[in-house]
Amino acid sequence: MRVSMIVPLLLPALFPALALAQPPTPNTPVEHVVIIFQENQSFDHYFGTYPTAANPPGEPPFQAAPGTPSVNGLGGALLTKNPNLNAPFRIDRSEAKSLIGICDNNHDYTPEQAAYDSGLLDQFVQLLGPSGGGCRPDFVMGYVDGNTVTALWNYAQNFGLSDNHFGSTFGPSMPGAINLASGQTAGATPPNVNSPGGSPWVANGTMIGNPPAAFDDCAEETGTLVQMTGKNIGDLLNAAGLTWGWFSDGFTPTERLRNGTAVCGLLAESDTGPIQVYDDPDPFDYYKSTSNPHHLPPSSVDMIGRTDSANHQYEFDDFWAAAANNNMPAVSFLRGSEVTDGHPGYSDPLLEQGYLVTVLNRLQQLPQWSSTAVFLTWDDSDGWYDHQMPPIINHSQDPAHDALVGGNSCGSSTPLGGFPDRCGYGPRIPLLIISPFAKPNFVLHSTNDMSSLIRFIEDNWNLGRIGEGSFDAVAGSLSDAFDFEHPHNQPVLLDANTGEPAAQ
């Protein structure tokens, strides 16, 4: 063998760092995973009556294709003899802004468990109903249909929908976001932290609320800063040499103080007035290894997705810049403006729909679309009524904060990793699988949770597991939602205002 042939073979052995320069190839045709992460919807709230819409005059109509599979949704006695104080009711498209845009439900860790009441699911109105003035007491029982979230129902017609996807634990946004990043809400420090108002943020080293991130100058909340220990999916991607990033609208500072501190002061008009564009459910800013506290920009477009001063945390538009530069990351998390995240109380389904359709239309017209899988999901249920009792695969016995069984516990078995206050699975939330490889008009009935998304990434690139009691070790697979042998590359372009198919 000639020397010119021997040297390339010896280089990785002599210099191990060179072996990491070439990232692993995926086990499927999916070379790009995009996770669009929204806020606060239960499955029944968005898809409870799918695929049947009321279709009142003057609203975008929805007619299901023949053979559309049914979902585990609302119907029969659930609508007429519901165990709650009030029955579920349809929120009309005309009420999306005037009702959902100004009202919000209680969705904290302990009250949500109590509302599920040992599987009776009969305390939603009393324990999770809205507290704001002008909100109807049974608001928590409301749902919308295909005349309001028309785009979402049309995506379900053309791609995949899961009707058995759950939050990994009970509770609000940040535990949901942390479970997306690591499947592990334990390992928070300080180990016990309350909000300025007294509600628990961290209990026994487990995050159960929305504390401010220790490594983010623009943390939305105020009070004791909290950080997470342990690993997240970003750490696994970095170790494998794969590109990735969290892309947030409004991440770019509006000013920078003399000490370098970032100020995120960009405002936008919401249903309740001007609010800050940048929201902080960025889970990676709770981990020192994957944080960008001062919101530093990438050193160049070529470095988006790679480790530099930005450390994988970016402005939303950096994603499109990377895609145009032919270096779209292997894994991308997209986080829009707080105005368009769908969170009741300031956003609404119509504002959210406009954003989602705009993003998905643009994604489907990228050259990389033929090798992309998009997962569209929400961080928690907002307390909205959902009739399905989640499987409790992880128990907790903290009488101060657990209330699912007997008002003071969440089962009797030893929890994963021995960590308390991770009662789960939590409420059922929507998950759409949008990809050329997604089975069209398909409903995935197998059980999965938030950490199933990171398990898909782990399995696609042989990254291994996060460990340390992460839910990824027991997460259900999403593979049945895909058909990698028969891709359908024709984009499904919708109208951003109506959610109907766009005129071609």
- At 312, which amino acid appears? H
Contact in structure between 356 and 295 (CB atoms under 8 Å): no
63 within some domain: no
Residue 416 has pLDDT above 70, yes or no: yes
Contact in structure between 78 and 89 (CB atoms under 8 Å): no
**How many other CB atoms are there within 10 angstroms of residue 257's CB atom?**
11
Give 165-208 pLDDT, tens digit per residue: 999 999 999 999 999 999 999 999 999 999 999 999 999 999 99
86: number of CA atoms within 13 Å, CB side?
19
Give 30-48 pLDDT, tens digit per residue: 999 999 999 999 999 999 9
72 within some domain: no
Residue 89 has pLDDT above 60, yes or no: yes
Q: What is the pLDDT of residue 280?
A: 80
Structure tokens belonging to residue 138: 């049974």
Contact in structure between 292 and 246 (CB atoms under 8 Å): no
Q: How far is CA 278 from CA 77, 249, 274, 340, in A?
A: 42, 6, 12, 11
**Residue 133: pLDDT band with limits 50, 70, 90:** confident
Structure tokens belonging to residue 207: 């995050």
Specify the CATH number for the domain of residue 346: 3.40.720
- Closest Cα partner for 117 from 142, 87, 139, 84? 84
Residues of the chain with pLDDT > 70, as a percent, come to 96
Strand locations in 316-397, DSSP E?
Answer: 331-335, 372-378
**Residue 276: pLDDT band with limits 50, 70, 90:** very high
| 418 Rama sector, left if φ>0, alpha if ψ -120 to 50, beta otherwise | left
**How many other CB atoms are there within 10 angstroms of residue 468's CB atom?**
17
Residue 420 has pLDDT above 80, yes or no: yes
Report how far residue 318's alpha carbon sits from residue 244's, in angstroms, rounded to the nearest whole number. Answer: 12
292 within some domain: yes
- Which three-class secondary structure state does DSSP give residue 280? coil
Residue 107 has pLDDT above 70, yes or no: yes
Residue 4 has pLDDT above 50, yes or no: no
106 within some domain: no
Contact in structure between 73 and 179 (CB atoms under 8 Å): no
Task: Write phi, then psi, for 404 (nearest 5 degrees).
Answer: -75, -45
Structure tokens belonging to residue 375: 């997962």
Q: What is the pLDDT of residue 279?
A: 87
Structure tokens belonging to residue 218: 């623009």
Q: What is the mean pLDDT of the chain?
A: 95
4 within some domain: no
- Closest Cα partner for 327 from 23, 8, 12? 23
**How many other CB atoms are there within 10 angstroms of residue 84's CB atom?**
22
**Residue 272: pLDDT band with limits 50, 70, 90:** very high
Strand partners, 375: 35, 433
Q: What's the CA dihedral at 431, 435, 441, 447 to 10 degrees?
A: -40
Mean local confidence (pLDDT), 428-452: 98
Q: What is the pLDDT of residue 504?
A: 67
461 within some domain: yes
How many domains are contained in the chain? 1
Sequence-separated (6 or more) residues with CB below 8 Å from residue 450? 166, 167, 168, 176, 179, 180, 183, 377, 471
**Count, residues in the chain:** 504
252 within some domain: yes
- Lookup result for tokens 């259900």: 476
Sequence-separated (6 or more) residues with CB below 8 Å from residue 139? 99, 103, 105, 129, 130
98 within some domain: no
Q: What is the pLDDT of residue 2?
A: 42
Structure tokens belonging to residue 436: 């050329």
Residue 7 has pLDDT above 80, yes or no: no
Mean local confidence (pLDDT), 343-368: 98
Q: What is the pLDDT of residue 22?
A: 87
- Residue-range definition of the domain harbouring residue 267: 23-44+150-481
